[in-house]
């Protein structure tokens, strides 16, 4: 059996709407990781602010339609470049905003997606006491989800299009006896770092959907799978 988790980071408004529609077309849930203050102009970097971010009105709508909306930082800080206490405060501030703004948000069930897939050993030791699991950099092809798993390894590709890189990793996954691929992309059709073509996404979901041995699931739903067996 194979599990593919394809997450879309940073919460670009246009791409998030389109991603959700594409996943819905295949009866699937999209995984969208958003910055708590994204709609308020964070991160305040020229390359990033070019693209409009969604707000919690949109995130609640997409969640109600069955998609998984997860935290991706308060201001998209690189946690490996900050003191532990400051990173902790930022993650807690992010989770507070989610608790206030996202309906039915439960931090004990949340999967925190580190910005830049960048974490530290200290944060990785602390975070499982706060959230269900976290996603950070590492070998993106893991064993199938395990009960109680708190670390999800993942990769991404950029700043150019990630289509080929993603296709290569899917082929690597399917060449193994089983496994869980977690791949992190951003926007569609030129939006964000390492964008994916909408057509590539549609063809990939179609191909994976034809396989009886493969499930495309957001990170939280993939962990649920381990707990339901």
> For residue 178, which of 132, 135, 146 has the smallest C-alpha distance?
146
Q: What is the CA radius of gyration of the chain?
A: 16
Minimum Å gap between C-beta 185 and Zn ion is 10
Least Å distance, CB 47 to Zn ion, is: 12
Q: Which of residues 67 and 215 has its CB atom nearest to Zn ion in the complex? A: 67
C-alpha 6/C-alpha 56 separation (Å) is 21
Q: Does 191 bind Zn ion (CB under 5 A)?
A: no
Binding span for Zn ion by CB under 5 A among 9-17, 56-64, 101-109, 142-150: 9-17
| Main-chain dihedrals φ then ψ at residue 85, nearest 5 degrees | -60, -40
- For Zn ion, the binding residue among 4, 7, 8, 9 (CB under 5 A) is 9
CB of 191 to Zn ion, least distance (A): 12
Six token digits for residue 9: 């980071």
67 in helix, strand or coil?
coil
Does residue 194 bind Zn ion (CB under 5 A)? no
Work out how close the CB of 81 gets to Zn ion at its nearest, in angstroms, rounded to a whole number: 14
Question: Using the rule CB under 5 A, is 115 a contact of Zn ion?
Answer: yes
Q: Of residues 10-39, which lie at the interface with Zn ion (CB under 5 A)?
A: 10
Distance CA 28, CA 11 (A): 18
Residue 165: name the closest of 6, 18, 20, 3 by CA: 6
Residues 6+ apart with CB under 8 A from 105: 98, 99
Interface segment toward Zn ion; rule CB under 5 A; list 50-58, 92-100, 111-119, 174-182: 111-119
- Name the residue nearer to Zn ion (CB basis): 12 or 56: 12
Q: With CB under 5 A as the rule, give the number of residues binding Zn ion.
A: 3
Q: Which residue ranges make up the site for Zn ion (CB under 5 A)?
A: 9-10, 115
């Amino acid at each position: 059996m194979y599990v593919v988790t394809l997450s879309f980071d940073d919460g670009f408004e246009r791409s998030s709407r389109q991603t959700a529609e594409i996943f819905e077309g295949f009866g699937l849930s999209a995984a969208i990781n958003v910055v708590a203050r994204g709609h308020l102009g964070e991160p305040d970097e020229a390359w990033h602010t070019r693209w409009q971010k969604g707000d919690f009105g949109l995130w609640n709508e997409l969640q109600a339609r069955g998609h998984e909306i997860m935290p991706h930082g308060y201001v998209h800080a690189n946690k490996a470049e900050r003191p532990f206490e400051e990173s902790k405060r930022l993650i807690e501030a992010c989770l507070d905003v989610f608790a206030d703004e996202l309906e039915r948000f439960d931090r004990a069930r949340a999967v925190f997606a580190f910005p830049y897939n960048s974490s530290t050993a200290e944060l990785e030791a602390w975070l499982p006491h706060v959230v269900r699991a976290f996603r950070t950099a590492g070998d993106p092809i893991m064993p199938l989800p395990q009960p109680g798993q708190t670390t999800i390894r993942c990769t991404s590709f950029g700043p150019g299009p990630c289509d080929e890189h993603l296709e290569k990793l899917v082929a690597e996954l399917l060449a193994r006896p089983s496994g869980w691929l977690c791949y992190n992309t951003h926007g569609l059709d030129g939006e964000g770092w390492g964008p994916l073509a909408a057509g590539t996404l549609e063809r990939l979901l179609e191909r994976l959907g034809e396989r009886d041995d493969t499930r495309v699931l957001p990170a939280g739903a993939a962990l649920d799978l381990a707990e339901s067996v």
